[in-house]
Structure 1
Amino acid sequence: MLQQLVDILTLESLGEDRFRGRNMHPQGFRVYGGQVLAQALSAAQQTVDPARVIHSQHAYFLRPGDCAEPVVYEVERARDGGSFSSRRVVALQKGRPILVCSLSFQTDDGGFDFQEPIPEVVPPEALPSERQRAIDSGTLDENFMITTGEDLDVRMVRPIDWENPQQAEGELLNWMKTNGPVGINPALHACLLTYMSDTMVLDAGLIQHGRSWMQMELQVASLDHAIWFHAPCRTDQWLLHTANLERNSGGRTLVRGRFHTRDGLHVATVMQQGLMRKR
């Protein structure tokens, strides 16, 4: 449920810049990376002047997360400068790090402005949601619902049968938003965008070869993730996410993602590298 997602992004303070977060899918086979990224941002935000907003996050995934265990976040206040604040966050389970990341916050500033136009695609109203497609096909997994849950509405411009994938160009286009309103708090919307940013990324590298993460002979996992925030947005309104394959090599895939608002504003850019190899 959407309220559950909002709740897991509201961390429990443990004092001394330490926080604890619960898991969105406690029966899943591993913690969704986007959840840990978003909770790390939520933890860091609580140590920064609210006038300074996130502009970049760079993370490394170190270990799979255990869905049965809460995640503890330790924040280091690396620097507070004249207009930038830098934070380092370690996410831990059972005392061992599962993710480390650096985040940078900035006061509002003007300057040069340029962006490439939004791709021309079918509007979301003309597309089925991933949840509806999973229900119709009988493949809905109630324990690991990232794109098929009741919290997010995800609609693929060119839907893929992940159980029987066909080789296609390494580009995925998806409309995304929350399944209901979540208020106007920009810090929450930044966390929700971060949560979404780990969705349908590595799949662009897989589909280039007609493969799927569901194929057990493959080892697929996120290695590192970076997101740059260009402008504030509402995640309870439609965002177009484009994921483009940059390179597959060395048992790894590198994919670039972009988020646009429906009226064409480019609000965030993502780069993710993942493990993609035969076991």
Structure 2
Amino acid sequence: MVAVNCRFFNTILGTQALAAASKTVDCLKLVHSLHAIFLIAGDNNMPIIYQVHRERDGTSFATRKVEAKQKGLVMFTLIVSFQKEELGFEHQAAIMPVVPPPEQLLNMEEIRERRLTDPRFPMQYRNSAAKKKFVPWPIEMRFCQDSKSQHEPSLHYWFRARGKLSDDPALHRCVVAYASDLLYSGVSLNPHRKRGLKTYSLSLDHSMWFHKPVKADDWLLYVIDSPSAHGGRGFVTGRMFNRQGELIVSLTQEALIRRAKTPGQTPRPKL
């Protein structure tokens, strides 16, 4: 496993824990909710042991607790609830925002190319950015907002997995869980960003609820808002809609958000 920083390390950690838990339940039961707590910072150069505890196996529901360990210490705990699909009452009060379709928006690679030739950016920045190796993420993103809204505590973008996934519904939910935390906690820092200010963010906890079947290789609209930040913690909520406007996933997270102690350097977080 390779993770470039703590945020991506935690993202991969949660996804692998969910995949491990999913392997231990009846294939007819799918995750409908998960609750993760990040206890201590991990080391992306050390192996991780995932221990799955069978908390409950019922007719309709199953519950698993996953502990991720390094050097014998539990650094992450995930509680996952699985449910067999059933018919029931339905309603949806949430309304998908009106945004351009993904086909009309730029992906991250196209945005990068435009910045490299945009005269509004200093030449030093453009030259430096051109020398950096760009590695595409496994998740394709297309942002709905322009640069004027970068300091708002919100973010709207379409995303999907690159390539075609198998029909395994558990896989699609794992991929969505992975995609959910790539930019999530950083939204609470948006109102505080300014030139020269170095910051870092680290997930403290992360919860997801899957309301309906999800296709991770089809476009999903991710609507993220941060209603509050205080005491070094940023609170973020999220909603994911499919192209038909159906609410598929709801999320909440609290993250540690701090100034970096040394300009230009992101320190190893200490909780």
Q: TM tier, shorter chain?
A: 0.7 to 0.9
Report the AA paired with residue 69 of structure 2.
L
Q: Is the 8 A contact 2:102 2:158 kept in 1?
A: yes
Q: Is the 8 A contact 1:167 1:211 kept in 2?
A: no
Q: Is the 8 A contact 1:227 1:269 kept in 2?
A: yes
Q: Is the 8 A contact 2:239 2:251 kept in 1?
A: yes
1:40 corresponding residue in structure 2: 17
Choose the corresponding residue for 1:168, options 151, 154, 160: 151
Identify the structure with the greater helix proportion: 2
SS at match of 1:195: helix
Report the AA paired with residue 80 of structure 1.
D
State yes or no: 1:86 paired with 2:69.
no
1:134 corresponding residue in structure 2: 112
State yes or no: 1:154 paired with 2:141.
yes
| Coordinate RMSD, CA, aligned | 2.3
Matches of 1:246 and 1:158, distance apart in 2 = 18
Report the AA paired with residue 63 of structure 1.
I
Report the AA paired with residue 199 of structure 1.
L
Higher mean C-alpha displacement, 121-130 vs 203-212: 203-212
2:204 corresponding residue in structure 1: 223
1:4 corresponding residue in structure 2: none
What percent of counterpart residues are identical?
33
Query: TM-score, normalised to structure 1's length?
Result: 0.80
Q: Is the 8 A contact 1:200 1:243 kept in 2?
A: no
Report the AA paired with residue 189 of structure 2.
L
Matches of 2:115 and 2:71, distance apart in 1 = 38
State yes or no: 1:271 paired with 2:252.
yes
Q: Which residues of structure 1 form unaligned runs of 5+?
A: 1-22
Per the TM alignment, residue 127 of structure 1 is displaced from its structure 2 partner at its CA by: 1.3
What are the equivalent positions in structure 2 for 1:79-118 lying under 5 Å apart?
Answer: 79-115=56-92, 116-118=94-96
State yes or no: 1:210 paired with 2:193.
yes
Q: Is the 8 A contact 2:138 2:162 kept in 1?
A: yes
Matches of 2:245 and 2:156, distance apart in 1 = 14
Q: Which has the larger radius of gyration?
A: 2
State yes or no: 1:260 paired with 2:247.
no
Matches of 1:197 and 1:155, distance apart in 2 = 14
Matches of 1:51 and 1:211, distance apart in 2 = 49
Per the TM alignment, residue 184 of structure 1 is displaced from its structure 2 partner at its CA by: 1.2
Query: TM-score, normalised to structure 2's length?
Result: 0.83
Per the TM alignment, residue 150 of structure 1 is displaced from its structure 2 partner at its CA by: 4.3
Matches of 1:187 and 1:154, distance apart in 2 = 22
Q: Is the 8 A contact 2:31 2:82 kept in 1?
A: yes
